[in-house]
Structure 1
Amino acid sequence: FADGMTKQIFTDMGLTIGYSLLSSLIVSLTVVPAMSSKLLEKVEKKPSILFDRLINLYEKALRWALKHKVIVILPVVVLLVFSVYKIGSMGTSFMPSMDSTEMSATLEMPIGSSKKDTIKMSDKIINNLMKIDDIETIGATDSTNSMLGQASDTTMSFFIKLKEDKKHSNTEIAKIIEERTKDFDCELKVSASNMDMGALAGSGIQVIIKGEDLDELKSMAIDISKEIKPIKGIKEITTGLENPSKETRIIVDKNKAMEYGLTTAQIYQTISNEIKTDTSSTILTIGRNDYPVIVSNGDSLTKNELKNLTITGTKDNEKVDVKISSIVSISDDESLSSISRENQSRYMTVTATIDSDYNVGLVGKEVKSKLDNYKVKDGYSIEIGGEMETISDAMGDLVLMIILAVVFVYLVMVAQFQSLLSPFIVMFTIPLAFTGGLLALLITGNDLSVVSMLGFLVLSGVVVNNGIVFVDYVNQLRATGMSKKEAIIETGRSRIRPILMTALTTILAMSTMALSNGMGAEMTKGLAIVSIGGLAYSTILTLVVIPILYDLMQRKEFKIIDIED
């Protein structure tokens, strides 16, 4: 049900889980009973002293918990509130950063450098970086100007191959490279990994300023860059105004022009004709080839010649020659390299790159806080884009998916229990699982990424299983005439084994993902950590909290069923 990039990345995973669970359901209802009828004809239950002690200890703890409900529930609620509170200060990211054996870097030489200077600096950088133990080899290629399709004299791209058994992470190697080249007379931008899935989300934080007047947009871009520059974690800010070209502005004084019966369009046309040097006249066809004929007007108009340029106007019903300089003002200014539009509205973008030691989500919150206090003029607007926008959209999609999943789970249980209250009790395992998942992320120091959010989505459908097993068996025992409290105790004793088995098998299966250190393992670590933390925490508390909630909420007497009937 998701949209956009979230759908493209995770639809296959969702379908795989859905199809495999559907297949396992069919097998468990058909193949497993058939095999059990033949293979389990002679089953001897071997006593386990250690597990029997665990069951007796659990029974004592459960009886104590049922008598001291507030003491048990209070810390659970406090941990839940604490976890929700910590979400605000947790780092967020679109995708976790991933290590690989490939890195890249881009060399930018000072303006005016020759190709020879660039090659010489490239050799110097390569010789210096090859002294780093974790680097296996480095290749350099000319950077190409995408607009002109030709190589640039001042830029060079590096492809860095790392050793398979490297001792440092890609981020640490990138810092070593930056440290080694910081005194060089050039700018070297290092990309820590060529497997960075976060690049799908856009680069860093972008502040998009929309409006009509270009001068006002430039002024706002400069102001905003100054506002966000002191924020810790912001490494580099670009406004699109770097290295601007010069332009000559000609502003018509309409009142003076009207004295001579001239319009802005007439003045523009006169100046345009004078400064135009080449005009396409016609095309000659010789054989199979076409040749354009260009008529050249000679040298272009200089600024002084422009001031002395005359245009014919009328005054007192007589034609007069009017100097351009008498009806226009001429000034020099900096021009934009391009004018961007979206939905017929002009915009400029202020882009901030984030230091690898800082989290884009936390830095983005500070940027948003600064922009909330920035006064925007009427007719202008400010939006946050880049990775922050992608994270916000993806997180919003996943939150809606989790809510929808919880609703589906509840409806399925209502149909199964033929009751509204029993499923409601079971649903309390979901906030317990979310608490465990968030605590696991905090303990391991991981960000709240789209991948880890997917772990919460998986938890919402998995953790209710233990609650269902517990509540369903309590209801069965009460239906035979057993008292509520004794039914709860007996359920705890008899169902602790399958509950622990199902939880442990899932936790152990997920541990391979959580502990993996192979290339690209970071992609699924968040999901595994959330699943393990949520399952471990919720399983332990399901054995205590769910019985307490059942005792508090299920006050209705059960109709006793005659088993013989």
Structure 2
Amino acid sequence: GGMTGELYKQFAITIAISMALSGLVALTLSPALAAKLLKPGEHGDQRTDFLYRFFFGPFNRGFDYLTQGYAGGVRFIVKRALLGMALFAAMLVATYGLFQQIPTSFVPSEDQGYLYGIGLLPDAASQDRTEQVGQQVSDIFLRTPGVSGVVAVNGYSLLDGQIKTNTNTFFVTLKDFEERKTPATSNNGIMASVMREFASIGEAIVLVFNPPGIPGLGTTGGFEFWIQNRGSGDYKDLEKVTRGFIAKSKDHPELSGLNSTIRTASQQLYVYLDREQANTLGVPVETVFGALQTLFGSAYVSQFNKFSRVWQVIVQAAPEYRSRPDDLKKVYVRSTNGSMVPLEAVVKLENTTAPDLVTRFNGFPAARITGSAASGFSSGQATAAMEALAREVLPEGYSFAWSGETFEQKKSGSASALVFVYGLIMVFLILAAQYEKWSLPFSVMMAVPFGLFGALLTVWLRGMENDVYFQIGLLTLVGLAAKNAILIVEFAVMKHEEGMPVMAAAVEAARLRFRPILMTSLAFILGAIPLVIATGAGANSRHSIGTGIVGGMTAATVLAIFFVPLFFRLFEGRGSKKESVATSEGAETVAIHQDQPVVSELVSEDRRDA
């Protein structure tokens, strides 16, 4: 379920349809095409043919030598079962170690061609001051290589969606990927460059964010962490705990750019209505509130039609009559007896401080902290650091929760493992039905760990992360690794049924299927190379899935093909012994049953003679 389930569903539908079409073409059109193209006598005399003498001939002879060497290696492994199983166990241990070593994440951060910027000024900052800071930030963006344009929205906070005079929001568009081929002009390079220059702006805190890897999972890239107050404390206590948490996070190198928009000391004007005085003067309470809303806010009155459109009528006081608190003294309301009463006669003004936004998460008062993993660390490592810090810093009565990408990452923790296990079970059941045995499919399934080892090793060498796209690639390797093993096991079974011993059948099958295995594997590996070296939008996602399947398929081709014959010998040899024992027991039983009538006949003949 969730976002991870949607990703797996899209992948499964795509692969299922493509494989169904591929199978249809392989079973129908490919034989017809082969019969049309491959005809005897069309390749000329091999002794005089130029291509055969200088290319195909040497290539075939070299491949024959390679096949002989491969058969010798298989024969060496098959004869030394203990050594082979020891190497296999060592590979399993290395695979487990790589699983523990590679950092985890949900989806990789992508260069999507645009960035977000946030400017935070003190609470008392005016709109003019905010616009000046916005101009400075825009100038820094525009002179940065790789930036195409900037749209500044002064007075709007992207993080919490509020309209406030002390915040800026910037939408930064980057140049085309063809013009940004250096690390300095990538999204991460641009963010690092501008953040160094933003440090010189003393009037505001300016932050830059990458958009989320999947649209809709959070406002910005990185993580969204919530501190929840589940006790009896107020919002001032919540802000104090949140600020202390952010200050303590500077001791953790895995974390970067932590910030929160919680403000409990924002200046506010509190209007106190004296209800007894209003009742004495005959002024209804709803009249007072209606006047305040209409003049200092706005009120919808009606609508009218003109120019084939519907226009709304909104009533609001002119700006010069609602710019200062003293403007309330100029407002009059009508009492029940028809007289006009000044509004200041029933209300009192008081300057106070209070939260500018009261947020709740899962029903509890909460403060949101946004941040990201520091350079060189994965989102999984940043998540672990935040949770460890929360358990250390948060006092009693406070808890934490996640939202956005990190919430999906936590929710999908065991889902990928379950999908992988179900994939293995399905392949095993299909093979068991094909071979009509429970033991023989194990010789095919034992090739899957080699694919996992190769995928993990390649990702680790490239310094990448174990994300959901890489896990989808691992699921693909189940079928790809099993495919190579099936080619060997299928022929080994045929050779064994023809009368060859199990060991000789395994070696002969490996030798016969070596060329088809290399051809199909190399075709797949070379076809996936563009994913490994992809650039542009979505490149990191393609790197994750491409690197895993290329590394895994390489290991399944180079390593597993030496061990599959060994597994066939171990599992099929054990099954053959059971079958031979059962056959010998059946033969003895048949002999006994055949002898019994003879004995009875002899006895009856003796009785007749008597």
What TM-score do the two structures reach when normalised by structure 2? Answer: 0.73
Give structure 1 stretches of 5+ with no counterpart: 249-268, 305-331, 561-565
Q: 1:155 to 1:35 in 2, by over 3 A?
A: closer
Distance in 1 between residues matched to 2:212 and 2:260, nearest whole Å: 27
Distance in 1 between residues matched to 2:449 and 2:436, nearest whole Å: 23
Distance in 1 between residues matched to 2:512 and 2:12, nearest whole Å: 34
2:165 is the counterpart of 1:159: no
Q: Which residue of 2 aligns with 1:279?
A: 285
Q: Which residue of 2 aligns with 1:449?
A: 467
Counterpart among 277, 295, 298 of residue 345 in structure 2: 298
Counterpart among 360, 383, 388 of residue 340 in structure 1: 360
Counterpart among 350, 369, 380 of residue 361 in structure 1: 380
Q: Which residue of 1 aligns with 2:194?
A: 177
**Cα distance, 1:189 vs. partner?**
1.4
**Cα distance, 1:502 vs. partner?**
1.2
Instruction: Please say which of residues 223-232 and 513-522 is displaced more in the overlay.
Output: 223-232
Counterpart among 209, 214, 218 of residue 228 in structure 2: 209
Q: 1:2-41, aligned counterparts within 5 Å?
A: 3-41=1-39
Which structure has the bigger radius of gyration? 2
Greater share of residues in helix = 2
Counterpart among 377, 402, 406 of residue 420 in structure 2: 402
Aligned-partner residue type, residue 503 of structure 2? K
Distance in 1 between residues matched to 2:266 and 2:541, nearest whole Å: 44
Q: 1:319-330, aligned counterparts within 5 Å?
A: none
Q: 1:218 to 1:165 in 2, by over 3 A?
A: closer
Give structure 2 stretches of 5+ with no counterpart: 47-55, 292-299, 304-312, 317-332, 336-342, 581-610
Q: 1:46-195, aligned counterparts within 5 Å?
A: 48-144=60-156, 152=165, 154-162=167-175, 164-166=178-180, 167=182, 168=184, 169-185=186-202, 186-192=204-210, 194=211
**Cα distance, 1:199 vs. partner?**
6.7
Aligned-partner residue type, residue 225 of structure 2? Q
Q: Percent identity?
A: 20
Aligned-partner residue type, residue 20 of structure 1? S
Q: 1:461 to 1:350 in 2, by over 3 A?
A: same
2:252 is the counterpart of 1:231: yes
Q: 1:212 to 1:127 in 2, by over 3 A?
A: closer
Q: Is the 8 A contact 1:205 1:364 kept in 2?
A: no
**Cα distance, 1:391 vs. partner?**
0.9
**Cα distance, 1:471 vs. partner?**
0.8
Aligned-partner residue type, residue 426 of structure 1? V
Q: Is the 8 A contact 2:227 2:398 kept in 1?
A: no
Instruction: Please say which of residues 531-540 and 165-174 is displaced more in the overlay.
Output: 165-174
**Cα distance, 1:99 vs. partner?**
2.1
Distance in 1 between residues matched to 2:506 and 2:347, nearest whole Å: 95
The RMSD of aligned alpha carbons is: 3.9
- SS of the equivalent of 1:93 reads coil
Distance in 2 between residues matched to 1:74 and 1:400, nearest whole Å: 28
Q: 1:298 to 1:237 in 2, by over 3 A?
A: farther
Distance in 2 between residues matched to 1:504 and 1:106, nearest whole Å: 49
Aligned length: 508
Instruction: Please say which of residues 461-470 and 102-111 is displaced more in the overlay.
Output: 102-111
Deviation per CA, 1:244-301: give whole Å up to 9, x if none.
34899xxxxxxxxxxxxxxxxxxxx998868999821499999999999776463645
Aligned-partner residue type, residue 200 of structure 2? D
Deviation per CA, 1:151-171: give whole Å up to 9, x if none.
736425242433532222210
Q: 1:199 to 1:69 in 2, by over 3 A?
A: farther
Instruction: Please say which of residues 534-543 and 235-244 is displaced more in the overlay.
Output: 235-244
Q: Which residue of 1 aligns with 2:510?
A: 492
Q: 1:87 to 1:374 in 2, by over 3 A?
A: farther
Aligned-partner residue type, residue 416 of structure 1? Q
**Cα distance, 1:118 vs. partner?**
3.1
